[in-house]
Amino acid sequence: MSVILYKERLFADASYYLFKAINSGFFHVEHGRLVLGISQLAPLLASYLHFPMQWVLIIASMGHELFYYSIFLFLFYRLNDRRGAIAVLLIHLIGQLWLYYSPMLEICYGAALAVLFYALLSKEKYKSDVSLVLLLLIQWFVMTSHPENFILIAVGIGYDYLKRGFQKNIHLTTFLFLCIGFLIEISTFSAYEVGHASQLMTNETVGNFKNLFSIPYWRGIEETARNFYPDLLILFFVAFYSILKRHAIKEFILFIGSVALLLLMVHATFAANDFNRYNESLHSPLVFIIVFFAVYESFHWKKKHQMTFFVLCCGIALLRVFWIYDYGKPLRLRMAQMDRLVDYAQNIGGSKFLINSDNYHSDYTSITWANPIETLFCSAIDGKEQSLSIATEGEYKFNKNHKFLNDTNYIFRRFEIEPIDFLNGQYFVFEQGHYHYLNSARLEGDIATLSKNVSVKQDWRHVKEFYKTGDTALIRLHLHNKNDVYLPSKEDQKLYLSYHLYQNDELIEWNGIRTLLEVDLRGEYWQDMRIALPEEAGLYQIVPDIVVDGKGWFNLTEGTEIAVIY
């Protein structure tokens, strides 16, 4: 899956950190989160070996999986810790709907390493100087991966103490290292981390703290848990039941206390009772705590019950794999749209382009600050000479960027303007020049003449088997303008894609939903158009067309049959 979805896994932060590493040829770490360097090993090695860009991106995507499975294999075969191995796989899959597609997240890497830390501690793999240094190095990686992950180290030390009793030398060493690490962490906060930490003392945070006593707020948390973490809820009750059945009061206090502390840290700082990419990352340490206790406590069961739990974990893992893939459908559509846009811009020529967000927007578009970086990667796959960057007109105007732009620089992301020679010539080559607008043409010529050289038809490769009555849907169109002039996409030109709907050659609807062209059209382009499905089931013919408000229709006639069901 990591090979198939390598482009989709460039979303937002992932593309930023990957670009920084490839472009500089060295590790790029921010906020002191050293574990990020591990995620950059594979793509850096590929770039040193001069692999083509597509291979570098695929290897980068596979590298994230290699990290988790390397820990899994080490735990399973070298440490003979089946519990830890299962925990790592579950941590990698649970709570990874958004995060799978933005995998350059140190908080998740830290959670996996926290399992390894506990396994080494509990197996007494610290008695030689080398093994002790390795243990403390892993502890440091976990602690610096995210401020929340200090709790994970504390849980590991506390649980080991409850299992083996007080081991003076190692428990004092790791605990003191935890305290020292925490002091270093808070005294070396980056501006980004200071900004988040300062929220603990703002009026907004006081409001967030009050949320903890709000029934509607907790209902939102409950709904999010049921919809996006049902497997984690099951494991929570497994851990809860296992600990109570053993009457292990101290383990129960550690379990519930760590869960409560983490929830307090998150929800007293942020309003995080809905589901999005950032909130999913904030709850990643919670996944560790629940999985950790569920897995390690289950091994107190009888053998046949342990096997039942193992089957449960396998089922959860398989369901999560399918869920992650299915959840990524909008991102697959998003990347297909981005690829189409990049291909079209490459045919125009030039390296710097601007698009209007209103034209580019769709249900799945998800425009982020990293779009210029993602389009750069997508274009560089075709060769460094084909490299280009596409920003939005909003980014062009952001913070008066347009006043600082010239032929020799470009918008790296909306916060940063970089010279074009900043790019690593091994993979990216930009032409000097100005930004090209993709939505600036004006309507030239009369409709009757233009329509003779225009075709709009449904792309047969994307025809659905059936549609639901009363629903709205997107259909993929193949557009071809053979005229020498552009068909304009800017909204003030009032040119739209629309459609007519027929049943048995009888007109059902003439004036369908209108959709802007994504780009000024000359030549070929593929894009989606929204349609409204009829309330009655049956076979219909949909005829895509173009309309210019106040001037009329192109009266295109090529249609496609669609099935509508209840």
| Per-residue pLDDT tens digits of the chain, which is 566 residues long | 999 999 999 998 999 999 999 999 999 988 778 898 999 999 999 999 999 999 999 999 999 999 999 999 999 999 999 999 999 999 999 999 999 999 877 899 999 999 999 999 999 999 999 999 999 999 999 999 999 999 999 999 999 999 999 999 999 999 999 999 999 888 877 666 665 555 555 545 555 677 778 888 888 889 999 999 999 999 999 999 999 999 999 999 999 999 999 998 888 777 777 888 888 988 999 999 999 999 999 888 888 888 999 999 999 999 999 999 999 999 999 999 999 999 999 999 999 999 999 999 888 999 999 999 999 999 999 999 999 999 999 999 999 999 999 999 999 999 999 999 999 999 999 999 999 999 999 999 999 999 999 999 999 888 888 899 999 999 999 999 999 999 999 999 999 999 999 999 899 999 999 999 999 999 999 999 999 999 999 999 999 999 999 999 999 999 999 999 99
Clarify whether residues 375 and 484 are in a common domain. no
pTM of the prediction?
0.90
Clarify whether residues 57 and 144 are in a common domain. yes
CATH of the domain at 510: 2.60.40.770
| Structural domain containing residue 400 | 330-437
Q: Which pLDDT does position 32 carry in this prediction?
A: 78
Residue 435 neighbours by CB under 8 Å, 6+ apart = 352, 353, 354, 391, 396, 405
Label residues 247-256 b or e (16+ Cβ within 10 Å = b): ebeebbebbe
Using alpha carbons, select from 287, 297, 167, 318 the residue that is nearest to residue 244: 297
Q: Is residue 442 part of a domain?
A: no
Q: Which pLDDT does position 381 carry in this prediction?
A: 97
What's the token pair of residue 462?
A: 């994307």
Clarify whether residues 414 and 550 are in a common domain. no
The C-alpha atoms of residue 334 and residue 60 are separated, in whole angstroms, by 20
Clarify whether residues 348 and 228 are in a common domain. no
Residue 298, φ and ψ in degrees, nearest 5:
-65, -20
Q: Which pLDDT does position 265 carry in this prediction?
A: 86
Q: Is residue 428 part of a domain?
A: yes
End-of-domain residue from the set 410, 437, 464: 437
Q: Is residue 459 part of a domain?
A: yes
Q: Is residue 371 part of a domain?
A: yes
Clarify whether residues 232 and 366 are in a common domain. no
Clarify whether residues 172 and 42 are in a common domain. yes
Q: Which pLDDT does position 331 carry in this prediction?
A: 96
Residue 427, φ and ψ in degrees, nearest 5:
-125, -20
Q: Is residue 3 part of a domain?
A: no
Using alpha carbons, select from 456, 441, 443 the residue that is nearest to residue 549: 443
What is the number of domains present in the chain?
3
Clarify whether residues 160 and 132 are in a common domain. yes
Residue 510, φ and ψ in degrees, nearest 5:
-95, -45
Q: Which pLDDT does position 560 carry in this prediction?
A: 92
Q: Is residue 239 part of a domain?
A: yes
Q: Is residue 392 part of a domain?
A: yes
Clarify whether residues 418 and 534 are in a common domain. no
End-of-domain residue from the set 382, 405, 437: 437
Q: Is residue 307 part of a domain?
A: yes
End-of-domain residue from the set 273, 305, 327: 327
Clarify whether residues 148 and 297 are in a common domain. yes
Clarify whether residues 52 and 84 are in a common domain. yes
Q: How many other C-beta atoms lie within 10 A of the C-beta of residue 141? A: 23
Clarify whether residues 421 and 544 are in a common domain. no
Clarify whether residues 377 and 471 are in a common domain. no
